[in-house]
Amino acid sequence: MEAEKIIRIAIDGPSGSGKSTLARNLAQALGFVYIDTGSLYRAIGLTASRNGVPLDAPEGVCPLLADLNLEMRLENGGSAVYLAGKRLGDEIRTPLVSQYTSQVSKLPEVRAFLLKTQREIAEKNNVVMDGRDIGTVVLPDAQLKIFLCASPEQRAMRRYEELLAKGEHMTKAQVLAELSWRDENDQKRELSPAKPAPDAVFLDNSGLFPEETLSAALELVRERLHLSPV
């Protein structure tokens, strides 16, 4: 595929805004590859947690990066993260690993370490990539940038239901507190803070079903990229 014909769609937004659901559905509708960049950061959060790095001194993970065998492989229209050859699953989605991930993602060494991997994938494939800084830093030349948002209560409720389905027991109030802490941590960091690109389109999906959010995004794709679902 010629480099200039590659299409990149960036979806950024806070935790629980439904980015991954939209990005996955949109990639499937368009026949693009879905890239969940949060899972790369989560692999490093997991490494910090497994190696006893203190949560309030995340820089302890930096010396471990050189020997980290971290890969993102394209599988079934999406991506999977492998650490030391082992495919990572739900172990990167626990509340503790989420907290570690927010902490390690502040570090310049960690962001630089992951930037190349993310860009390389988007150089060779039509992608829908979700994260926090995709439209601002990773793919500033993305042809369409969506900033997805939803009310804090709605985001917390979605996350609560997700955790419940996985057998994690937290109250709704705990989930809302964890989510607010993480959003603030991600938005206030100095490097690549989670914020919309100046040319991003805001999409508020509070009260929308995933299919309705997908329809709204497909409308933007039609208008701006003149593309239709495959």
State the minimum distance, in angstroms, from the CB of residue 223 to ligand DC. 26
With a CB cutoff of 8 Å and minimum separation 6, the contacts of 209 are none
- Residue from 9, 32, 46, 133 that binds ligand DC (CB under 6 A)? 133
Cβ 26 vs Cβ 32: under 8 Å: yes
State the minimum distance, in angstroms, from the CB of residue 83 to ligand DC. 15
Cα dihedral 115, 81, 212, 147, rounded to 10, equals: -20
Q: Is 101 in the site for ligand DC (CB under 6 A)?
A: yes
Q: Is 178 in the site for ligand DC (CB under 6 A)?
A: no
Count of other CB atoms within 10 angstroms of residue 59? 16
- Residue from 23, 25, 33, 132 that binds ligand DC (CB under 6 A)? 132
Listed ranges 77-85, 99-107, 148-156, 173-181: which one lies at the site for ligand DC (CB under 6 A): 99-107
**DSSP sequence for 142-204:** -SEEEEEE--HHHHHHHHHHHHHHTT----HHHHHHHHHHHHHHHHH-SSS-S---TTPEEEE
Q: Is 102 in the site for ligand DC (CB under 6 A)?
A: yes
Q: Tell me, what amino acid is at 60?
A: G
**CB-wise, 17 or 227, nearer to ligand DC?**
17
- Residue from 17, 25, 37, 213 that binds ligand DC (CB under 6 A)? 37
Determine the 3-state secondary structure of 70 from DSSP: strand
State the minimum distance, in angstroms, from the CB of residue 170 to ligand DC. 16
Q: Is 41 in the site for ligand DC (CB under 6 A)?
A: yes
**CB-wise, 47 or 105, nearer to ligand DC?**
105
Listed ranges 2-10, 101-109, 157-165, 170-178: which one lies at the site for ligand DC (CB under 6 A): 101-109
CA dist., res. 150 & res. 80, Å (int) = 26
